Structure 1
Amino acid sequence: MTDNFSQQPTAQQRTYQAFAAQIMNDESSIDLARAALLIASIAYPNLDPVPALTQLDVLANRVKLLLSLPETEQLPSPLPEDISPLTVIAAINQVIFEEEQFSGASDDYRNPDNSFLHKVLERHTGLPIMLSLVYMEIGKRIGFPIDGMGFPYHFMVRYHWPEGTIYIDPFNNGLLLNEQECRERIQELTQQHRPLHPRWLEPVGPQQMLLRMLNNLKGVYIHRSDFEHALAVIDMIVLLLPQSGVERRDRGFLHLELKHYGKAMYDLQAYLELDPRADDRYEIRNHIKGIRQTIAQLN
């Protein structure tokens, strides 16, 4: 099943098409910063991505200056072997946290702007995953590959090299942790003391990061009863997870809240097709029956 766009797409539909183009190829080709700015276009439809991308370039060049590396417009090459990873991390931390004073958005956590890259760069605050994205994008621009780490309830980054792995918490001013400290942090966050799931210490790919950004926004908008923006978010999630019955179901209920009865019925039917033995299948069938009755009354 595919969603059809009109002959003359709206700004929102053009955003979906650009987002789909970002994620349809191999994950290694996804430009996370550009994809994140497309997500921000949900709330800022006239967003120009150039200023935010330029700001990331400027931050990276300041890190290069601290490391006595040449500024270049070309793709970054690996850092010289005589530069210690700890020296690089210290330089990134100095620029981001000491000079620019980026910090975690602890007081206004549910503000949607904390999930939009251009606003994070403008306000110097954001969610853990967004500060991690800034960190990763600076690393990419200086030839220092940094991975995202999708811990439960928290997001961090890591640098992996032959001598070990360095974990970094951008939400807490670039705090450095070792693996044991990460395990303790996860146990504290999950309030579990049983063995940790191995995948929690594995890096996540670009699509998983985008999905987590979108799920954060989905929760924020539903909490605010902002169903229009929540719907726009789920449309992007469905692009990432076209076979997810749960997302089709959730989108169907949002359409129902907005009185888009035909679209609600389409998504709820799609949910049952994708997950015919779902625990709530009888409830969903009753919703579909009610929607049919409503459509008949309207006609």
Structure 2
Amino acid sequence: MLQFNDDELDQMTLVEGALEITSVIDPSFPAARIRLQLKQLAKEAEHALMDEPNPHLRLEGLIRLFYREWGFQGDQQQYFSSENALLDKVLERKKGIPVSLGAIFLYLARHLELPVSSVGFPTQYILKIDWYDGEQQFINPFDGEYISLRTLRGWLIGYKGPFCELKDEHLAIADNKDILARWLTVLKSALLREEHYTDALRCSDLALSLRPDDPHEIRDRGYIYQQLDCSHAAASDYAYFIEQCPEDPAAELLKLQVQALNEEPLTLH
């Protein structure tokens, strides 16, 4: 489990938090090497943009450097691959998803003293720039393009329905804890698709250390337990979800699952 409280997580960079959680999931993860690679990228960015005092132009230079010269890009062919959420693979392949690419970009932007921060927008992770004159801009870290408020409103309507309104809370700066929890959910889902159930279970346990008693996370852990033939542990997690979310459409189906799982003989692992 993570040995950090919420304040300690928020004092880290988002990248550092991601390195910590990945090291818990996979003890062989090369976190030290990744830190050196990130420091080298930061030095290269500082060297390339050291003569640009204008912060707006410095941001434009970082976008050009990151997405064009270095070639980082969103993985449109294998979006749901676990490699897109693992920073060693993202740096190696220069492909990722919004949260992994955005975390690296954010790390570099902070080194260049640019006012960039995280936003856990409902549809995906985005970056916000709060300029010193009060102007705000938003960047899609998947491709490095600026996003208008009109586009964000369209994303929200597509996600939540035609009567949803874009509110300030949708664009608020997010805590590292919340972003890391979403990152874990993405990684867990990818590992489940790839049938890496033991690693997925570690993701689920870590997510629950960030959001204890989350019924949806406990339901997902129940599914993982079921794949690992831990029938009674799966039944217990499903029962908790049913108790906490009785109106959820999945509850009735899970009741049948609980009954069947409780009839199976106890297996010790």
Pair 143,288 (structure 1): closer, same or farther in 2 beyond 3 Å: same
Output the CA distance in 1 between the equivalents of 2:6 and 2:160: 37
* Aligned twin of 2:173: 203
User: What is the DSSP-based 3-state SS (H/G/I as helix, E as strand, rest coil) of the residue aligned with 1:263?
Assistant: helix
User: 1:206 Cα deviation (Å)?
Assistant: 0.8
Which is greater in Rg?
A: 1
User: What is the DSSP-based 3-state SS (H/G/I as helix, E as strand, rest coil) of the residue aligned with 1:157?
Assistant: strand
Pair 291,146 (structure 1): closer, same or farther in 2 beyond 3 Å: same
1:222-237 pair list within 5 angstroms: 222-237=192-207
- Give, as a single letter, the amino acid of the residue that structure 1 aligns with 2:218: R
- Give, as a single letter, the amino acid of the residue that structure 2 aligns with 1:29: Q
Contact 1:33/1:53 (<8 A) preserved: no
Pair 116,290 (structure 1): closer, same or farther in 2 beyond 3 Å: same
Q: CA RMSD in A?
A: 2.9
User: What is the DSSP-based 3-state SS (H/G/I as helix, E as strand, rest coil) of the residue aligned with 1:211?
Assistant: helix
Contact 2:225/2:233 (<8 A) preserved: yes
User: 1:159 Cα deviation (Å)?
Assistant: 0.9
Output the CA distance in 2 between the equivalents of 1:104 and 1:283: 36
Contact 1:127/1:171 (<8 A) preserved: yes
Structure 2: gaps of 5 or more residues: none
How many matched pairs? Answer: 265
* Aligned twin of 2:163: 194
The TM-score, its normalising length taken from structure 1, stands at 0.76
Output the CA distance in 1 between the equivalents of 2:219 and 2:39: 40
- Give, as a single letter, the amino acid of the residue that structure 1 aligns with 2:102: S
* Aligned twin of 2:209: 239
* Aligned twin of 1:166: 137
- Give, as a single letter, the amino acid of the residue that structure 2 aligns with 1:51: R
User: 1:203 Cα deviation (Å)?
Assistant: 2.5
User: What is the DSSP-based 3-state SS (H/G/I as helix, E as strand, rest coil) of the residue aligned with 2:136?
Assistant: strand
The TM-score, its normalising length taken from structure 2, stands at 0.83
Q: Deviations over 1:260-291 (max 9, x none)?
A: 13432443454456x27555666555544443
Q: Deviations over 1:36-92 (max 9, x none)?
A: 1244347743112122112222222222223327xxxxxxxxxxxx93331121221
Output the CA distance in 2 between the equivalents of 1:57 and 1:243: 37
* Aligned twin of 2:187: 217
Contact 1:23/1:207 (<8 A) preserved: no
User: 1:168 Cα deviation (Å)?
Assistant: 1.5
Pair 243,95 (structure 1): closer, same or farther in 2 beyond 3 Å: same
Contact 2:208/2:214 (<8 A) preserved: yes
User: 1:114 Cα deviation (Å)?
Assistant: 0.4
Contact 1:251/1:267 (<8 A) preserved: yes
Contact 1:139/1:146 (<8 A) preserved: yes
Q: Deviations over 1:130-174 (max 9, x none)?
A: 1111111112223324212233433221110232112112211x2
Contact 1:136/1:145 (<8 A) preserved: no
Pair 252,158 (structure 1): closer, same or farther in 2 beyond 3 Å: same
Contact 1:42/1:229 (<8 A) preserved: no
Contact 2:26/2:199 (<8 A) preserved: no
Output the CA distance in 1 between the equivalents of 2:93 and 2:164: 38
Which residue, out of 21, 28, 38, partners 1:46? 28
Q: Deviations over 1:94-128 (max 9, x none)?
A: 32122211111111112110011121111111011
1:71-86 pair list within 5 angstroms: 83-86=53-56
Output the CA distance in 1 between the equivalents of 2:155 and 2:216: 30
User: What is the DSSP-based 3-state SS (H/G/I as helix, E as strand, rest coil) of the residue aligned with 1:162?
Assistant: coil
What is the aligned-residue identity percentage? 22
User: 1:207 Cα deviation (Å)?
Assistant: 1.3
1:238-277 pair list within 5 angstroms: 238-271=208-241, 275=244, 277=246
Output the CA distance in 1 between the equivalents of 2:229 and 2:114: 49
Does residue 1:294 correspond to 2:264, yes or no? yes
Does residue 1:29 correspond to 2:11, yes or no? yes
Structure 1: gaps of 5 or more residues: 1-16, 70-81
